[in-house]
Structure 1
C-alpha cells in the first residue's frame, strides 16, 4: 500500500479536528440560545380540613372532638350524605346529643328533608333540638308547620280529635301523678306554656352618700313665767343618698295552660319526676271519658286526651339563636 505524503496526512487531521470543533461549538451555542426551562406554577394550597374526609360518626367522641361547634358538626354530617346517608343521619344525631345544639333551621333545611320524611326517629330528634332551644313549643311549632313537618299541638288535637288521631303532638308539660294501669304506667300531664316576665336588675357598683348637718345657737327672750332668759341648743340633720344603675331583664316562667292529658308509657321510668317541665313527643290516641259529674245536657262525663309517649327531653334555658 502506498504511503500518503506527510502534508496530506496533516491536512486530513486538521480538517477532522476543525469539523469536530465546529460540531461542539454548535451544540454549545444551541444550549446557550435555548430558553431556560419553565418552572410549573406551584399548586394552590388547600386546607387540610378541606382535603380530609369527615370523621366517622361511629366514634361519637372523636367526631365531636373534631367538630366542637354545633354549626361545624352539622356541616360535617351533611357532607357525609355523599358517601352514606345512614352515616350522615347518625352523625346528625351525634351532633344533636351534644349540649348547645340549637340548629333547628339547618335540620329543617332541604338537605335533611328526605331523612325527616322517612326516618322513624326524626320527630324525636326535632323534639330534642326544640328542648335545647328552651322548649318554647308554641313558637317552635309555627316554624315546623312552615316547613310542613307533621308535628302538632295538644290544643289542635283536642279541638279535632278525629283529624289528629294517630299523629304526633308536642307539648311542654309537668308530671302531676304517675299510676299503673295493668302493666303500663300512666302519667297525669299538666301542659305548661312559657311566659316571659320582665324585671330590673342592678348592674355595676351602687354608691351611698350619708350626710350629717349640725346647727347650734342661743335664743334670748323674756317670758311671763321666767322673766329674762336665754335658751341654747343644737340641731342635727341627716341625709342619705343611694345611686345605682339597673337594666331590664326577662325571665321565662312556665305557666299552666289549663289543658291536661293522660300519657302512657311502655314501662315505668324513674327519670320522669313530678313537678318538673319536660318537652314531650307523643302520639295522639284520641279522647277518653273521665269519671265526673254530668249535667242534664250531657250524656257522658268530661273527656281528656290520651297520649302514647314516644320521647321526652328536659328543656334548657332559653337560648339566643
Structure 2
C-alpha cells in the first residue's frame, strides 16, 4: 500500500470519529431533554403549568341552573321549559328553580307544559307552586274563569271565589284565584284591608277594514220631448229631464275582538301584611289568596241573623298584573 493510500484511510477514520462525536453530543442533548420532560410531568399541575392555572382561576364560574339568569339564556319559553325539565333527572330543586326563572324572565304562557306529568309532583309539594301558576295565568291574559277548569282537570287545588261563597266550610283555608280591582284601602292597625271587586273577562267583536276600499259614483241624465194633440187644449209639446245617480262602495274587513272586564257582582275583603303602593285602585289584578271564611257586614245587633249580608274574607298571598292579550 502506498503512502498516499495509508494517509487517505487515516483521514477517513478521523472523519468518522468526528461525525460520531457530533452525533453523540446531539444524542446526549435529546436524552437530557427527555429526562427533564419526565421530571416536569411528575410535578403537581400548579407547578408544571402555572400560566394555565392562573387563567383558570381568573375565569368566572358558569352560573348554576337555579340562578335567576337561567331564563335569560333562552329565546323562547318552550326552549327554557325543556331545558329546565331535563334537570329533573339530576336535581329536582335546581329544576324547579330553573322553571321559576323561565316564568319570571320569559313571557311564559305554556300552562299545558306546566301542568304536564313531569311537573305534577313539584306542583303538589312545592309551597310556592300556586304562585307560579297564578303568574302564568296572569301572563296568559288573566282569564281566571277560563283557566280554572284546566287546573281542576289536573287536580290542582286552586278554586274560584264563587265556589267559596257557595260552600264556605269546604273551601276555608284553600287557595282562591280571582281577577279583581281594588275599590278601597283601609288600615286596621298595622295590616291594611283592601276592598276587592271581582271582575269577569269578556270580549267584544268589531269589523276592521283591511287593504284598500273602492268606491264608484255615477250620474245619469235622461232628456226628451213629446208633441201631440191633447184634446181640448189642442196641439201641445212636452219636454223634460230625468236624472239618476248610483254609488257603489266596497271594502275588505276582518273581525277583531277587544277584551274588556266587567263586574261579576261578587266582592271580598283582602288582608295584607303591609301596605303596597302598587296594589292601587282602578286596575285589574290576578289575585292569589287564602279563603278565611265569611264575615257579616251589618251591625253587631244583626250578627246572629243568618240572612244578614256577608262578605268573603281573604288573606292575599300574591298578585300579578294581567297581560292585555288573552291566550286561548
For 2:316 and 2:271, locate their aligned partners in 1 and report how far apart those are by CA, in whole Å.
Answer: 6
State the Cα distance separating 1:231 from its structure 2 match. 6.0
- Does structure 1 conserve the Cα–Cα contact (< 8 Å) formed by 2:109 and 2:327? no
For 1:310 and 1:201, locate their aligned partners in 2 and report how far apart those are by CA, in whole Å.
Answer: 41
1:220-246 CA distance string (max 9 Å, x none): 57899x987756554432221111222
- Does structure 2 conserve the Cα–Cα contact (< 8 Å) formed by 1:289 and 1:300? no
The answer as to 2:315 corresponding to 1:312 is no
The answer as to 2:202 corresponding to 1:199 is no
For 2:200 and 2:238, locate their aligned partners in 1 and report how far apart those are by CA, in whole Å.
Answer: 71
The answer as to 2:147 corresponding to 1:149 is no
1:42-90 CA distance string (max 9 Å, x none): xxxxxxxxxxxx96335534x3343211111011111122332222111
| TM-score normalised by L of structure 2 | 0.72
For 2:295 and 2:127, locate their aligned partners in 1 and report how far apart those are by CA, in whole Å.
Answer: 27
Task: Pick the aligned partner of 2:130 from 112, 123, 127.
Answer: 123
The answer as to 2:296 corresponding to 1:289 is yes
Task: Pick the aligned partner of 1:180 from 187, 194, 208.
Answer: 187
Task: Pick the aligned partner of 1:211 from 203, 207, 218.
Answer: 218
Partner of 1:9: none
The answer as to 2:256 corresponding to 1:249 is yes
Which structure 1 residue ranges, 5 or more long, are not aligned?
Answer: 1-53
SS in 1 for 2:185: strand
State the Cα distance separating 1:129 from its structure 2 match. 0.6
- Does structure 2 conserve the Cα–Cα contact (< 8 Å) formed by 1:292 and 1:301? no
SS in 2 for 1:249: strand
Which structure 2 residue ranges, 5 or more long, are not aligned?
Answer: 1-61
How many pairs were matched up?
266
1:243-282 counterparts in 2 under 5 A? Answer: 243-282=250-289
1:153-168 counterparts in 2 under 5 A? Answer: 153-168=160-175
| TM-score normalised by L of structure 1 | 0.73
SS in 1 for 2:99: helix
State the Cα distance separating 1:314 from its structure 2 match. 1.4
For 2:309 and 2:117, locate their aligned partners in 1 and report how far apart those are by CA, in whole Å.
Answer: 43
SS in 2 for 1:138: helix
Task: Pick the aligned partner of 2:143 from 136, 141, 149.
Answer: 136
Q: Which structure has the highest helix share of the two?
A: 2
The answer as to 2:100 corresponding to 1:93 is yes
